[in-house]
Amino acid sequence: MRVALQRSMPASSRLHSEALQFRIILAATYPFFLAAALAQRLLPAGSAPRRGLPPVRRSVFGEAKAMAVSAIPFAFMG
């Protein structure tokens, strides 16, 4: 009687696959985060201005990428 062996993906292949999925999700969600970053810039802030050093501001595109990169890992959990 033969026992069928399940072959798992090599670690490098799995990492490449996950990296590709991450890039695809980033490309798909980036326009939404770009719209959110634009809305944050255009709408007045609801809080009082802070004292001290002014906050470092990224470009709208950099802010959108930062938001996307921080949110996407939740898709890979579980």
Higher pLDDT among residues 77 and 37, named by residue: 37
Question: Is there a domain that residue 10 lies in?
Answer: no
Question: Is there a domain that residue 8 lies in?
Answer: no
Question: Is there a domain that residue 50 lies in?
Answer: no
Put simply, whether the predicted model's pTM sits higher than 0.85 gets the answer no
d(CA 69, CA 26): 7
Question: Is there a domain that residue 76 lies in?
Answer: yes
* Band (9; pLDDT cuts 50, 70, 90): low
Average of per-residue pLDDT across 6-31: 86
Cα Rg of the chain (Å, integer): 20
Range of the domain at 67: 23-42+58-78
Tens digit of each residue's pLDDT (9 = 90 or more) over 29-60: 999 999 999 999 898 766 556 677 666 778 99
Question: Is there a domain that residue 11 lies in?
Answer: no
Tell me how many domains the chain contains.
Answer: 1
